[in-house]
Amino acid sequence: MKFFFILRQTFNNLWRERTPVVATVLTICIALTILIALFEVSWALYGQLSDLKSNLVIEVYLDPALSEKQAAAIQKQLEQYHTIERIRFISKETAADIFREEFGENIRDILDENPLPISFEIRLLPEYNHPGYMSLFKKQVESISGVDEVHYRHAVIEKLEQITEAIMVSGIFVLIILVFAMNLLIRNTIKLSVYAKRRQIEIMKILGAGNMLIRMPFILEGAFEGLIGGILSATGLIIMHKFIASSFTLVTYSLHTYKLIWVYTLSLGILIGLLTSAGSVGKFVNKIFSKK
């Protein structure tokens, strides 16, 4: 019976303060949506980044006039670097094969002789796969005599890193504001409810009701706001997923992802609502009675 009493009081509070409750629920929903979306987007971007990085090769083109023997000597020299994971030697013939594969034409048919230089494809150890070291490496290798040019596709990676960082920073900034607003609004609805029920609380105290019974409806009120905010947020996120997934291949989704979204938004929403209201209800109740 106590349980039903508490639940009835909770819903009574929610209905009585429905306007601020709606505002609070929407704020919780937006905050959770941004939080989860931010998490997912940065997760996807980091995935892309590390994919790109691990597939990143540094191409070292040698002077076209060099013989294979001289090239082998340069390879020996390169092998001294402990930062290199492996080196692939690409002979003139292999280069021509690659050219044919990529462009569908035989270079020897276009030009009389094979103009492609000998080159190396170098893969660095993962921990050296960052722009700082790469540019240093490029400079060093380019200074070796017989090396014509060193190439790697750093621009894409740097751009992607910048984007990821920008999204993270602005997202976290917005999130901090939203968490602040969420806290304020949840506390506000609890305060309004406690104030509206001040006479009932006073009567219940005279009848010997304990803190648990008096505070629980307000704590559950906050938890319920979090729950509804979480449900709305999960629904919104899943709709966004379906929409995005059909236009990008970048975002992968599955039933498993949906389950996770439900778990995260609901548990986060309830937890935030519960903790915020539990943390403030005592203060509001005491405030009523200190004025007496």
Is residue 192 near another protein by the rule CB under 8 A?
no
How far, in whole angstroms, is CA 140 from its chain's centroid? 36
When asked if residue 255 is in the footprint of another protein (CB under 8 A), the reply is no
- Contact call for residue 291 and another protein (CB under 8 A): no
Contacting range for another protein; rule: CB under 8 A; set: 24-32, 145-153, 175-183, 200-208: 200-208
In sequence order, what are the beta bridge partners of 269?
none
Q: Which of 47, 115, 126, 210 binds another protein (CB under 8 A)?
A: 210
Binding status of residue 199 toward another protein by CB under 8 A: yes
Whether residue 125 contacts residue 99, with contact meaning beta carbons closer than 8 Å, is answered with: no
| Angstrom distance (rounded) from CA 225 to CA 25 | 5
Strands of the sheet with 58-62, listed across from one edge: 84-90, 119-124, 58-62, 147-151
User: Which of these segments, 26-34, 55-63, 198-206, 249-257, binds another protein (CB under 8 A)?
Assistant: 198-206
Of the listed pieces 55-63, 127-135, 181-189, 205-213, which binds another protein according to CB under 8 A?
A: 205-213
Angle, alpha carbons 71-72-73 (nearest 5°): 90
Shorter beta-carbon distance to another protein: residue 25 or 201: 201
**Residues counted in the chain:** 292
Choice from 101, 207, 247, 290 touching another protein (CB under 8 A): 207
195 binds another protein (CB under 8 A): no
Out of 200, 235, 238, 258, which residue is the one contacting another protein (CB under 8 A)?
200
Question: Which uninterrupted H or E stretch holds 173?
Answer: helix 154-196
Amino acid symbol at 4: F
- # of chain residues touching another protein (CB under 8 A): 16
Give 8 or 153: the residue with its C-beta nearer to another protein. Answer: 8
Cα–Cα distance, 62 to 77 (Å, whole number): 13
Q: Is position 288 an interface residue for another protein (rule: CB under 8 A)?
A: no
Least distance in Å: CB of 188 to another protein? Answer: 22
CA–CA gap between residue 20 and residue 16 (Å, rounded): 10
Instruction: By CB under 8 A, tell whether 139 contacts another protein.
Output: no
| Among 242, 264, 254, CA closest to 33 | 264
Choose among 221, 227, 190: nearest CA to 12. Answer: 221
Q: Of the two residues 213 and 278, which places its CB atom closer to another protein in the complex?
A: 213
Q: Where are the alpha helices (DSSP H) in 197-210?
A: 198-206
**Interaction of residue 65 with another protein, rule CB under 8 A:** no
For another protein, the binding residues (CB under 8 A) are 1-2, 4-5, 199-200, 202-210, 213
